[in-house]
Amino acid sequence: MDLLASLREGTAVEHQALEDQLDLMNPALDHERYRLLLSGFLGFVEPYERALQRWCPEPQRDLIDGRLKTATLVADLQALGFSGEQIDALPRDAEPGDMHERAGWFGRFYVMEGSTLGGRVIGPHVAKTLGLQDGVGNAYFLGHGARTGSMWKAFRERLQNSLEPAEHEAAVAAARACFSGLGHWFERALPASVASAP
């Protein structure tokens, strides 16, 4: 089994559990829940992206270019009425500890970069459901816009060509930990009424 197939199959349970937990495609999604979910994403994504840059293997520096989304999340929160002080005060998760090894770095990157694909469906749904101007308050979920497909293809190719077979198991473990960690983060960081689907 190739690496991408191993990652898809190895994370299927955690991936589905997270989708069910967040329930972003719920037609009853309201502004309060969405604002809290988006603040939760910032609390996870910001430390993850710090670690992504800190532990980046030298040959992969260019892979990060154009893929960081913390600033987009901040802009979305501001568009939804958060002040700079409120954003600064939001809780942040700890930086993931398994990204200092190349396999763990790629495994978590796979999850977060792969989320841009699902975002192409979530972004328009959020805009329509909440009456948002497209790209204002939902830009995080729009990923890389028209370049999302090509950037995902480039990432997949780099991933396949960068890890040895002996590293595949560790990459899958890190990807599973990323999905599970995000779910646990929402459970810890958000009110009980928001941490699980309505």
Was domain 3-192 assigned CATH 1.10.10.10?
no
Which single residue is written with the structure tokens 């988006």? 38
Walking along the chain (198 residues) 10 residues at a time, the average pLDDT comes out as: 94 97 95 95 97 96 96 98 96 95 98 94 96 95 94 96 97 98 91 53
Contact status, residue 24 vs residue 196, Cβ threshold 8 Å: no
pLDDT value of residue 198: 43
Locate 123 and state its tokens: 């972004």
* Domain residue ranges of the chain, discontinuous segments joined by +: 3-192
Residue 43: which of 198, 156, 187 has the closest Cα? Answer: 187
pLDDT value of residue 1: 72
Locate 122 and state its tokens: 């979530």
Model's pTM, two decimal places? 0.94
d(CA 52, CA 49): 5
pLDDT value of residue 195: 54
Interior/surface letters 123-135, b for 16+ CB within 10 angstroms, e for the rest:
bebbbebbebeee
